[in-house]
Amino acid sequence: MSKDLKDKTPGELERIVTTRGQKKYQAGSIFSFIHSKGVEDILQISSLVKAFRGELVEQGFFISQLNTSRKLTDPDGTVKYTFDLGDGGVIESVVLIDGHRRTLCISTQAGCAMNCAFCATGRLQLQRNLTAAEIVDQVYAAEKQGGRITNVVYMGMGEPLANYDAVLKSARILNDSAGRNIGIRHLTISTCGIAPAIKKLAGEDIHPRLAISLNAPTDELRTRLMPVNAKYPIKVLLDAVETYQFRVKERVTFEYVMIKGLNDSLEDAERLIKLLRRFKCNVNLIEYNPHPGCKFKGSGTERTERFCEAIGKAGIETTIRFKMGQTIFAACGQLGANSQGV
């Protein structure tokens, strides 16, 4: 069992304090000191009696903290943080600023096993899952250095639903009113399409926004771009999304990276419309962001706008997500491009 108190839900903290002869309410105090007040040392939790603080320390309990090894800022205001995990692993997080909206794109794994052809992170391969503490601490570190985060998107390094338990725990921690109290609709989980996990998510007691990285309208092309499609082809994936939407009753986002000459024709748009018209959804068209060693090119403004117009005319809400943070390799698909030898 992990001894990291930052990695515990209020219920888990209750078990820790009550089995040591303390009152149950003290669990809430520990949670608040860590996740609201930002305390990083058990001995600083002043609401606990000194003897109990000492007991926790003696028994090996601690409060973890990510080490920020690098901070880069793009001319457009985008900020990228690099964190050392202490075991040789490295992750990155990105703050995107749009007026008063400050969105943090967080990582859920060190590296990634999905090996999507257009993504730099996949070239790192999977090193390990992050703990819930390491996931939420990306938010705390970014806030400490740059101010309040209003929205969190699980779209950084790694596949969130391949680290299901830690990701859901982190969402509960971030959403908890005794902690950062980030609204559940201000948390978005993005997945490459792990169908069973999408169905499982539908049965949870909390439902962050769901985003599906689709990127192709046919199985042949999607499997070339995203090997996960060989295991969970488009029909299986969309059936899982339909199950999710039937239970949750919320709009789903489909993400579509625009790659020149590959998935950006009007015929591709028509195929995409046929796939998605049964859903209450919106489509985010993402400009492809090149990185060292990449073999693709972005579709460009004209082709992207034409594609967007075609989908919009079919009654599907569509938004073009323009490049941000590209000079510091902070744009979608670029995380890990200038670290760990990539």
Residues labelled catalytic: 92, 332
DSSP 198-265: HHHHHTSS---EEEEE---SSHHHHHHH-GGGGTS-HHHHHHHHHHHHHHH---EEEEEEEBTTTS-S
Q: Is 271 exposed, middle or buried (0-12, 13-18, 19+ CB in 10 A)?
A: middle
Map residue 281 onto helix, strand or coil: strand
Q: What whole-number distance in Å separates Cα of residue 77 and Cα of residue 330?
A: 11
Q: What is the dihedral of CA 256, 258, 263, 265, to 10 degrees?
A: 110
Structure tokens at 179: 């902690």
Cross-strand bridge partners of residue 95 = 79, 104
Q: Which residues pair with 255 in a beta bridge?
A: 213, 284
Amino acid 115 reads: N
Sign of the C-alpha dihedral computed for residues 215, 114, 138 and 1 taken in this order: positive
Contact yes or no for 42/112 (Cβ under 8 A): no
Q: Which residues contact 232 (CB under 8 A, 6 or more apart)?
A: 193, 194, 195, 240
